């Protein structure tokens, strides 16, 4: 199940765990990333709470947890090479995996069509 | 140079003569110092930055102020001596066709703006920052004698920067190739007289071209059609100048920082210093002389973050990893694409300013190691010979 947030994160939920990243639209808006800071494995995150930081040449931006849970795994590859987020934001450029606090929480997030409408309205 | 003023409301922004061209070229436009300006184009800040250092970048800096100071009889020395009452540089000694960096000071020795002054033979031409240009003009009118004429030039200003800038501009104005760093010439481009200086704000060789509004767009288009030239936005302009160790007015220097604290005394020539024929005589000269003699409390230095996280303007600087009060502040910081890592500058206590000192900058509640260092972060490419 692929879901999106209005803060331009995507998450793919399988077996109670969500893989989280930023959308292609967000990656394009941010520009070339030069630094990524990821949460520690085992950290509990609140829905909408700060989970990661990305920095472009110009500015730093927060990445929020789209859902409550516990960080189960992080993608060290994007820390080593932040450009992966720009080249493959919705694939190899994933950020972290969250073990969901409650399995149904993702249902209320945006589906792909709703997210596409949202970014079309923004631009 | 260049001012830091963001957050203008859209709608009442002024447009430069190149605004339509920015839109046509895919520029992402933002409010900056009251103008609708491209922060980047499609390539993005990182690639625009690297392109400028490798080839040539074209920047619209028409938002900056262009002023001319003259006397009715065209006596440039008289105009220069009058201007020296407001700035600490040797202006009367500036040769015809030469340009120099200086700043307006206040009575406390603070910097009101930084600017370029060129001697065009019968008049002086000034380039000042966008956000301060009205105040600068008023300052000149209020403080220069009535015999000195102050004029605002309504012209576009195009910067062409990078190692291939000479090859590109020489196709349109062959005489530009003979110019050295900080030379200024009036050259014919497309049948119009343009004022061309071999200078810029990137640390690279290049030119700033003051052009009549009517030919601004055709000239920019002609340059952009050349293989080595790409349009560059204000985002890369900022990262380029930061790597070059150049000050951003409003961030690194302002009316509370003196030239001594800002490490800008290189711009005060011998003749204007103690013992010189025209020593002092500008606002705050006594404060500057005293600081120079006794040493300032704080100094602007380069700061190299030891990790990979950028340390940005506004971050507090500490002497220790925990505890204690802040001892300084980062005034500019970000990622240096050519340096290949984070770069910053800021103010630290003079006793901690020596290159190689370990300090800490607070980022998101954590104190990250930084090291004081010499500026610039990249070797300049100026054409000095």
> Domains (ranges, CATH) in chain A?
2-103 (2.40.50.100)
Above pLDDT 70, what percent of chain B? 97
How confident is the model over B90-131, as pLDDT tens digits? 999 999 999 999 999 999 999 999 999 999 999 999 999 999
DSSP string, A44-71: EE-TTSEEEEEEESS-EEEEE-SS-EEE
Residue of B nearest to A62 (CA): B364
| Helix, strand, coil percent values for chain B (each to nearest 5) | 25, 35, 45
Distant-in-sequence, close-in-space partners of B385: CB < 8 Å, separation ≥ 6: B180
If contacts are CB pairs under 8 Å, which of residues 256-315 in chain B contact chain A? 308-310, 312
Q: Are the Cβ atoms of A57 and B49 closer than 8 angstroms?
A: yes
Q: What is the mean pLDDT of chain B?
A: 96
Chain A contact present for B149, CB below 8 A: no
pLDDT at residue A106 in the model: 83
pLDDT surpassing 90 at residue B8: no
Do B45 and A58 lie within an 8 Å CB cutoff?
yes
Instruction: State the pLDDT at residue B373.
Output: 98
Interface residue A112 vs chain B (CB under 8 A): no
Shortest CA gap A49–chain B (Å): 14
* Residue B381 backbone dihedrals phi, psi, to 5 degrees: -110, 25
Measured in residues, chain A has a length of 123
Q: Please report which confidence band the pLDDT of residue B3 belongs to, taking 50, 70 and 90 as the band edges.
A: very low
- Yes or no, beta carbons of A32 and B236 under 8 Å apart: no
Q: Spell out the domains of chain B, with CATH numbers in brackets.
A: 19-61+154-243 (3.30.1360.120), 297-385 (2.40.30.110)
pLDDT of B379 above 90? yes
Q: Does A121 touch chain B (CB under 8 A)?
A: no
Nearest CA in chain A to B308: A35
CA separation (Å) from B83 to B93, B111, B116, B130, B266? 12, 15, 12, 20, 19
Summarize the confidence of residues B166-173 as an average pLDDT. Answer: 98
The C-alpha of B78 sits at a distance from chain A's nearest C-alpha, in angstroms, of 44
Nearest-CA distance from B277 to chain A in Å?
Answer: 45
Residue B56 pLDDT greater than 60, yes or no? yes
Edge-to-edge, what's the strand order for the sheet holding A2-4?
A2-4, A9-14, A17-22, A96-100, A69-74, A44-45
Is A73 near chain B, with CB under 8 Å? no
- Spatial separation of the C-alpha atoms in residues A38 and B154, rounded to whole Å: 50
Q: Whole-angstrom Cα distance, residue B200 to residue B118?
A: 13
**Scanning every residue of chain B, which has its alpha carbon at the shortest distance from the alpha carbon of A30?**
B44
Residue B236 and residue A57: Cβ atoms within 8 Å? Answer: yes
pLDDT at A18: 96
Q: Chain B residues with CB inside 8 Å of A58's CB?
A: 39, 45, 235, 238-239, 334
Q: Which one of A25, A57, A63, A123 would you mutate to disrupt binding with B, by most B Cβ within 10 Å of its Cβ?
A: A57
Q: Given this model, what pLDDT does residue A85 score?
A: 98
Per-residue pLDDT tens digits for B315-341:
999 999 999 999 999 999 999 999 999
Please determine, for residue B203, whether its predicted confidence score (pLDDT) is greater than 80.
yes
Position A25 confidence tier, pLDDT thresholds 50, 70, 90? very high
The predicted structure's pLDDT at residue A6: 93
pLDDT of residue B9: 55
How far off is chain B from A1, nearest CA to CA, in Å? 33
Asked if pLDDT for residue A66 goes beyond 70, the answer is: yes
| pLDDT given for residue A41 in this prediction | 98
Nearest by CB to B335, which of A34, A37, A53? A34
DSSP bridge partners of B6: B32
The rounded distance, in Å, linking the Cα atoms of B169 and B187 is: 11
Query: Which residue from A37, A53, A57 is facing B45, i.e. has the nearest CB?
Result: A57
- Kindly state the percentage of chain A with pLDDT values over 70: 99
Given a cut of 70, is residue B254 above it in pLDDT? yes
Question: Does B6 have pLDDT greater than 60?
Answer: no
Least Cα separation, residue A52 to chain B (angstroms): 11
Q: Cα–chain-centroid distance for residue B258?
A: 16
In this prediction, residue A107 has a pLDDT band, given cuts at 50, 70 and 90, of confident
pLDDT band of B11, cuts 50, 70, 90: low
Say yes or no to pLDDT of B244 above 50.
yes
Q: What is the mean pLDDT of residues B8-37?
A: 91
Q: How confident is the model at residue B4 (pLDDT cuts 50, 70, 90)?
A: very low
Nearest to A58 among B47, B308, B334 (CB): B334
Shortest CB distance from A31 goes to which of B45, B308, B342? B45
pLDDT over threshold 70, residue A95: yes
- Looking at residues A58-76, what average pLDDT do you find? 96
**Residue B1 pLDDT > 50:** no
Quick check: B46 and A55 CB within 8 A? no
pLDDT at B172 over 70: yes
pLDDT score recorded for residue A103: 78
Mean of per-residue pLDDT scores for chain A: 94
CB contact under 8 A, B342 and A56: no
What whole-number percentage of chain A has pLDDT above 90?
Answer: 90
Question: pLDDT at position A1, please?
Answer: 86
CB-CB contact of B147 with B186 (8 Å): no
B147 pLDDT tier (thresholds 50, 70, 90): very high
| pLDDT grade for B5, boundaries at 50, 70 and 90 | very low
Confidence at A111, pLDDT banded by 50, 70, 90: very high
Lowest mean pLDDT among B2-16, B70-84, B266-280: B2-16
């Amino acid at each position: 199940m692929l879901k999106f947030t209005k803060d331009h994160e995507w998450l793919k939920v399988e077996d109670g765990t969500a893989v989280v990243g930023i959308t292609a639209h967000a990656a394009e808006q941010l520009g070339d990333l030069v630094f990524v800071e990821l949460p520690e494995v085992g950290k509990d995150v609140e829905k909408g709470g700060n989970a990661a930081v990305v920095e472009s040449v110009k500015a730093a931006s927060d990445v929020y947890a789209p859902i409550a849970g516990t960080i189960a795994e992080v993608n060290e590859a994007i820390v080593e090479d932040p450009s992966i987020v720009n080249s493959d934001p919705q694939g190899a450029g994933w950020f972290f995996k969250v073990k969901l606090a409650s399995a149904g929480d993702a249902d209320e997030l945006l589906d792909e069509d709703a997210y596409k409408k949202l970014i079309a309205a923004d631009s | 140079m260049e001012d830091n003023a963001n957050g203008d409301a859209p709608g009442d922004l002024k447009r430069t003569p190149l605004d339509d061209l920015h839109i046509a070229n895919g520029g992402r436009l933002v409010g900056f110092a009251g103008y609708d300006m491209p922060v980047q184009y499609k390539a993005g800040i990182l690639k625009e930055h690297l392109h400028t250092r490798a080839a040539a970048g074209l920047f619209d800096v028409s938002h900056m102020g262009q002023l001319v100071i003259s006397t009715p009889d065209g006596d440039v020395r008289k105009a220069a001596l009058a201007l020296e009452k407001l700035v600490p540089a040797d202006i009367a000694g500036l040769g015809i066709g030469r340009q120099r960096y200086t700043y307006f000071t206040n009575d406390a020795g603070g910097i009101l703006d930084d600017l370029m002054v060129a001697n065009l033979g019968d008049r002086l031409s000034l380039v000042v920052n966008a956000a301060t240009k009205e105040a600068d003009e008023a300052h000149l009118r209020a403080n220069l004698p009535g015999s000195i004429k102050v004029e605002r030039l309504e012209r576009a200003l195009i910067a062409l920067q990078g190692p291939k800038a000479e090859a590109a501009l020489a196709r349109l104005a062959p005489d530009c190739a003979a110019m050295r760093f900080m030379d200024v010439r009036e050259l014919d481009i497309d049948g119009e007289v343009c004022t061309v200086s071999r200078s810029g704000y990137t640390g690279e060789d290049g030119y700033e071209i003051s052009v009549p509004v009517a030919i601004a767009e055709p000239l920019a288009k002609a340059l952009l059609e050349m293989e080595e030239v790409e349009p560059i936005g204000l985002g890369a302009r900022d990262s380029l100048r930061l790597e070059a160790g150049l000050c951003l007015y409003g961030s690194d220097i302002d009316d509370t920082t003196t030239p001594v604290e800002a490490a800008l005394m290189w711009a005060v020539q011998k003749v204007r210093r103690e013992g010189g024929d025209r020593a002092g005589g500008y606002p705050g000269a006594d404060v500057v002389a005293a600081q120079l003699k006794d040493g300032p409390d704080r100094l602007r230095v380069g700061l190299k973050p030891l990790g990979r996280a950028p340390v940005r303007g506004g971050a507090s600087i500490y002497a220790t990893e925990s505890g204690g009060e802040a001892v300084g502040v980062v005034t500019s910081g970000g990622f240096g694409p050519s340096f290949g890592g984070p770069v910053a500058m800021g103010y630290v206590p003079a006793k901690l300013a020596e290159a190689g000192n370990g300090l800490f900058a607070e980022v998101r509640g954590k104190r990250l190691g930084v090291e004081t260092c010499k500026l610039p972060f990249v070797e300049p490419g100026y054409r000095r010979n």
